[in-house]
Structure 1
């Protein structure tokens, strides 16, 4: 959504029937841009949710059957029974609720073990919510039962005693008309425990804007939607985010940059754009 539609319009897309989305949950603006300019409002967006460990798609609209909804993976595939759990390990029933996403019963494609470490397999997927497969993701269920993946539940940052999820903050930032995409991480703070560091990609319309004013405007949007506690301590404008080939943001790299630890970024072989790491590091605020 950062780019104009010019590069799309010069191609003949009349043969497209279905378009898909995988990796990070798609935000509202990207969904509409994709729908309007690539799908021409006639191709259903199959916004899938699944994991390597699940062996296949778990929640997804069926093209031309399931009505789509921006940012929602919609309904589980046949035989899949997702459940939402609270922090006390109780199932959350009803609609218009959110919680930890689990799967109630096994399915054919489920990972059976971790090679050479079955105990780790059990602890990772079946200990947090005994008897259920824990995905590690948070989700919300709307009034008709559609599911929206809200991000990893371990992407929680404790700021002055408040548990703040990165996904809602990123959603707020992306409401700003000059913002194309964002990613939030925490870094140590002497007083608050953790502070918030935002990496923000601007649209073309925002590139020429005064950056200090933009930072204030972004924080005002956050304060209006989530409250002052969620305002960012640091904002760095970047040209791109480090993403894997499947579209997932490699947040551990962003965390290390925010912390000022450039010693070892770990394995970056799966990055689609490894060159962006040095660029972000060199421009750290």
Structure 2
């Protein structure tokens, strides 16, 4: 890494001034009881919900704390009053029937409400990912906003068919 073209001062301020003598990557992590570090996501991946800044990784962690949840991804969606709302995509343990019982949806919402506040929790048998395993939040944002015609190329995803399945589960 050298600098930001034409703005070295911004480079210094952005990456080296937050923690003196250390480089700031913009990634968050937490250390578990065994001493392992877990990358939780981008610290700048924040949703402004009625003036409250909520990190998507906080909501995802709360969802993943539920024993039925394997993986979760949260994206912002426009809300007429709050500005933005949380839209969560949840992958449940193998063997779970889709869509799951309403009771499970309420349990997941309660898990997040306890930690964060109210959200929507559509169910997803899997999440759209690149072949390297990165969750494609760009696609999830479009699905949450019902902009299905603006998804872009999904043929390069590890499982392209999951996109259509999520759209069907979301409903029109």
Band the TM-score falls in, shorter-chain normalisation: 0.7 to 0.9
In structure 1, what is the Cα distance between the partners aligned to 2:65 and 2:49? 22
Measure, in 2, the Cα distance between the counterparts of 1:257 and 1:129: 33
CA displacement at 1:181 relative to structure 2:
1.4
Q: What is the alpha-carbon distance in structure 1 between the residues aligned to residue 98 and residue 149 of structure 2?
A: 33
Residue 254 (str. 1) matches residue 144 (str. 2): no
Shift of 1:136: 2.7
Specify which of 28, 45, 54 is matched with residue 138 of structure 1. 28
Alignment partner of 1:189 is 2:79: yes
> Residue 245 and residue 126 in structure 1: after superposition, are their counterparts in 2 closer, same or farther (change >3 A)?
farther
List alignment gaps of at least 5 residues for structure 2.
none
Instruction: Using the TM superposition, give the Cα deviation of residue 223 of structure 1 relative to its aligned residue in structure 2, in angstroms.
Output: 2.3
The match for 2:57 is 167
Query: Pick from 119, 128, 132: which aligns with 1:242?
Result: 128
2:169 maps to what in 1? 283
1:268: Cα distance to partner?
Answer: 3.8
After TM superposition, give the deviation of residue 280 of structure 1 in Å: 1.6
- List alignment gaps of at least 5 residues for structure 1: 1-110
Contact kept? 1:183, 1:200, Cα under 8 Å = yes
**Based on CA coordinates, which of the two structures has the bigger radius of gyration?**
1
Matching residue of 2:159: 273
Distance 1:121 1:200 in 2: 41
Q: Deviations over 1:88-111 (max 9, x none)?
A: xxxxxxxxxxxxxxxxxxxxxxx5
Secondary structure at the residue paired with 1:128?
A: helix
Quote the offset at 1:258 in angstroms.
Answer: 0.4
Distance in 1, matches of 2:45 and 2:137, equals 9
Question: Contact 1:125/1:134 (CA < 8 Å) preserved in 2?
Answer: no
Partner of 1:236, secondary structure, is coil
Q: How much does 1:182 deviate?
A: 1.2
- Within 5 Å, give how 1:34-49 maps onto structure 2: none
Give TM-score scaled by structure 1 length: 0.50
Instruction: Tell me the CA shift for residue 143 of structure 1.
Output: 9.0
Q: How many aligned positions are there?
A: 167
Structure 1 residue 156 corresponds to structure 2 residue 46: yes
Q: Alpha-carbon deviation of 1:187?
A: 0.1
Q: Which has the higher contact order (CA 8 A, sep 6+)?
A: 2
If each structure's helix is expressed as a fraction of its own residues, which one has the higher value?
A: 2
Residue 218 (str. 1) matches residue 108 (str. 2): yes
> 1:18-29 maps to which residues of 2 (within 5 A)?
none
TM-score, length-scaled by structure 2: 0.79
Q: What's the RMSD between the two structures over aligned residues?
A: 3.1
Deviation of 1:190 after TM superposition, in Å, equals: 0.9
Matched residue SS, 1:173: helix
